[in-house]
Structure formats: C-alpha cells, structure tokens
Chains A and B, each alone.
Chain A
C-alpha cells in the first residue's frame, strides 16, 4: 500500500472517530475517494500566485484575480486566474507526451511528439485575452450555479506556440469538417477514468485563425502546470474553456463537438432573451462564441481617498472578444455624462487594449468611477447586468470603483 493511501485511510478512520459519526453512506462511496478535508495544500506556494488572489474552490482549483492586480499589460503568472473543471494531471512526462489528431473529418490519424511539434512547425507569439465565460457570475440575480466569479477571471498573457491550422493541414482535413474538440490529461472529480472533466472546442473557422495556437510557453517560460503544461490550445477572445489545457488529442469533427461541457447548459446561453429565473430547455440554449465587449479599471484600487483638487489618473484594459475596442469612456456621475479615455491599439488581434484618463472632481463627496467600452460594431457595455441566463455567463456590465474626495 502506498503511504499516501495509508494515511488517507487512517485519516478516514480518525475522521469517523472525531466527527462522532461515520461517513454517511460510506459503503456506497466508490473506492479511492479521500474526503476533501484531508487535502490542504497551500495553493499560493503550489501555483506561485500572489497572496491577494482569492481561492473560490480548492477541489477543483478555481482561483480568482482582482481588478487592481491586473494592472500589467501582460499578465504575469502570479496574477492569472485559475479555472479547472477537474483535478490536475498527476504524472506528466514531456518525453513521452504526444498529441494525436483524429476524428471523422481527419484524412488520417496522426500522432506527434512534443519535440516534433516544436521543430516541424513555425512558432508564433501572441498576446491573447482569455476570459472565463462565467466571469462576473456573482452579480446575477437570481444567482446562477457555479463558481461565483467577481471581476478577476480574465488575463492577457503572451503565448508562444505553433498554429493549430498548420498541424491540421499537415494531417489533412476533409471537406465536411465543422468543429474541432480537444481531449486532455486532467482527471474527473469522481476519479472515474471513463469521464472527462471537460472536452470543448471551436468551429473550423476559429481553429484556422492565425492566433489560434497550440502553445508551449507562457510569457517566455514553460506553461505553468495549472495553465496547461506542457501543451495548451489557446483561442483568444472566446470563453477560456475553449482553450483546452494539457491537450493530448484533438478530434476534427463532422458535427458540432459533443464532448463534456459542450452540451446542456454548459457554456451556453438562451438563444432568445429570457426573464430572470426562467427555466430554459436544453435545446433552446446556444453555444457561446466570441466574448462581449468589456473593460476593467486596474488602477487605482477601489476605495481611494483623495483631497479636493487632487487629480486622479485611472488606467485599465478593454477587450471585445473577436472584435476591437473602438471607444473607451468614463463617468463620475453614474452615467449622466461620459468622458473619453485615451485608448491604445492592441499589440495584436485578440489582445486587450490599455486605456487611461485624468479625472478632476468638482467637489467633496462620494464618487464612483464607471468605465464603459464600445466595440468596433458600436456595441457598448451595459451599466446594469446584461440578460439573465441560467448559468450566469457573459456579465459585461460596466466596472466601477469607489472614490471619496475630502
């Protein structure tokens, strides 16, 4: 018996003793379950993340950043949100790691070693905005089920890898291809080997984009384990769940990929708008593609105390899924008047854009600084919550910070 298992079992017994009650229905528990109480690693050390990050969930790991931590144009690992659907892969050997391309619409099944991928195809680097589909879920009313993300489930880091398109073309794609779906090395929460925690993908059009990468590196270093080491699909501007971590297999499908979390209500919103709390049938839910326009004030941190006459410089980022942000504005009177911010062009397509503004306050008092981005199609962020949906996706309501002037 391995030591860890032994301790697990010993602890299970002691839990039974100290809690004064048996694990209810313990006999119905599949073998290999170790109650979560027995795992308490330090995620800040384990993932090398900043102590101000918020742990929403420790099994699976879901850790959120905060607006003021995201001030860098290129998000460093220590401030990147972590969203996992399953348990981390347990034994990764880069020497034996392979990527297999298969599926109904692949002209052949082909397997590449990591080294082959790195040496046979040209490499590219892009800054790509990845936002969790459920970022902002916390604000929905009635509340939506899932990790209650605030504003910090977004990052824009520098990804290096090869184009997915180059690999797909090397394998050969049949004319009837409609979608790609990834399969990865993470482990289902139930530890059942028959279940995948998540297996999503994107239409061929997105798969063929220049910026859709099979990435090996994040910000110039090996991708950290929590973000998909050693190989991650990265599809900027779409829900981050499209960017599959620890990818081992990509299937070229002749149907919309039907993997775990592609179906039902997962990463889907009602095809037609619904009233808050309304029940929506699965067949009336549509897959989220490009994320909506959004922005974040990353400086200063909310709660700033100023003196009258002191000018406030704000800055932050704005992004718009597949589109570009065309206009950035701020308001200090709850949207009665809006003022232009300075807005930079993106470093590359699908990268977030930096904005800044200098604000003077007319008199003492409590203010909120609201930020509003408008995309290249003329759509702006709503000031209130956007359309309610059962799983609480796509909250792109204006970000705001509180300021007091005295």
Chain B
C-alpha cells in the first residue's frame, strides 16, 4: 500500500468516525429536546408503589419569569418592584412565594424572620442583598391595622331558595 493510499484510508476512517460522532451528538440533542419539551414521557418504569410525591417531583413547567401583569409578577404572585429579582432568587428556593405574599410584617419583623430561617432552616447568608430584600418586603408587605374584628367581606351574593 502506497503512502497516499494509506493516507486516504486513514482520512476515510476519520471522516466515518466524524459522521458517527456527529450523528450521536445530534441524536442526544434531539432526545434531550424531546424530553425537555415533554416532561411526562417516562423513560424508566417507576416502582409499582407510586406516591403522589412522585407526581409532584415529576411535574416541572417551563418558566416565563419576566411576565408582569397589573404590577404582579405572574409566576410568583410577588408585587413588581425594586428587589423582586433578589427576593425570587433567595426566598423561593425552600418555600413557596405564597408563604411570603400571604404575610404582613414590619421591617423588623421580616428581619427577625430571616434570622430565624438562618438559625434554624438552613437559609444562607444574604450578604449585601439583605437590605434590598428587607426594603422590598417592608414596602410591599407591611402590616395594616385591622382592629379587633373586621367587617365581613362577601365575595358573592346569591339568591337562597
């Protein structure tokens, strides 16, 4: 075999390998895309004892995190405002945004809650973002005086037959 033929043979082997390699990469790429777009496809059969928690872990949705409607961040229900990104980034990892939005506290109250989470719930050091977060919470989730008993709020009046 001449050197030229030898070289051509090697080139052919190389190009074959490249074709195979890129096909594999392409296949993996398509596979990942399909799986990402259809999270319901099951690859491996779970154990027969399926708990609802599995369902919970399985259901993961796409994120359109920038949507803001009527001053409310759609995805989380947070009021849009300075500090929103910091609050989402630090406060929705362990618990729901709903735990924040249903509460009303003074700046001191929010700070005490952060300290309690750091001491007992594995919350990390918030660094220089702490002030931004506290300003946000104290501005948008401050307590209102409700008195000793509020008026009833009726969402819907209906005829009772």
Contact = CB atoms under 8 A, between A and B. Distances in A.
B5 interface: no
Contacts of B99: 57, 59, 147
Contacts of A55: 98
Contacts of B62: 11, 14
Interface residues of B, number: 66
A3 interface: yes
Interface in B93-144: 93-99, 102-105, 109, 113, 121-122, 124-127, 129, 143
Contacts, number: 196
Contacts of B145: 141
Contacts of B64: 18
Nearest to A90: B53
A141 B75 contact: no
Interface residues on A, range: 35 or more
- SS of A interface (majority): loop
Contacts of B105: 143, 145
Given A143-B103, A303-B157, A18 B65 contact: yes
B8 to A, nearest CB: 41
Contacts of A33: 93-94
Interface in A270-304: 300-304
Interface in A49-105: 55-60, 87-94
B47 interface: yes
Nearest to B85: A21
A29 B53 contact: no
Given A37-B65, A56-B102, A90 B57 contact: yes
Contacts of B88: 19, 35, 37
Interface in A1-36: 3-4, 6-8, 10-11, 14-15, 18-26, 28-30, 33, 35-36
Q: Which of B54, B102, B113 has the most CB of A within 10 A?
A: B102
Contacts of A23: 89
A188 B121 CA distance: 9
Contacts of B97: 36
A88 B103 CA distance: 23
B36 interface: yes
B95 A189 contact: yes
Given A33-B93, A36-B93, A92-B51, A303 B59 contact: no
Interface string A363-406: 00000100000000000000111000000000001001110100
Given A57-B96, A404-B157, A93 B49 contact: yes
Contacts of A8: 60
A145 B103 contact: yes
Contacts of B61: 38-40
Interface in A120-170: 139, 141-143, 145-148
14 contacts: A18-B66, A37-B88, A39-B56, A56-B102, A57-B96, A60-B95, A89-B53, A91-B51, A93-B47, A141-B145, A195-B122, A225-B51, A303-B156, A305-B160
Top 4 A-B residue pairs of the complex, sorted by shortest distance between their CB atoms: A190-B122, A24-B89, A304-B160, A88-B53
Given A15-B63, A89-B53, A93-B47, 11 more contacts: A35-B93, A36-B92, A57-B98, A59-B94, A88-B52, A90-B53, A139-B150, A302-B154, A305-B157, A400-B152, A402-B154
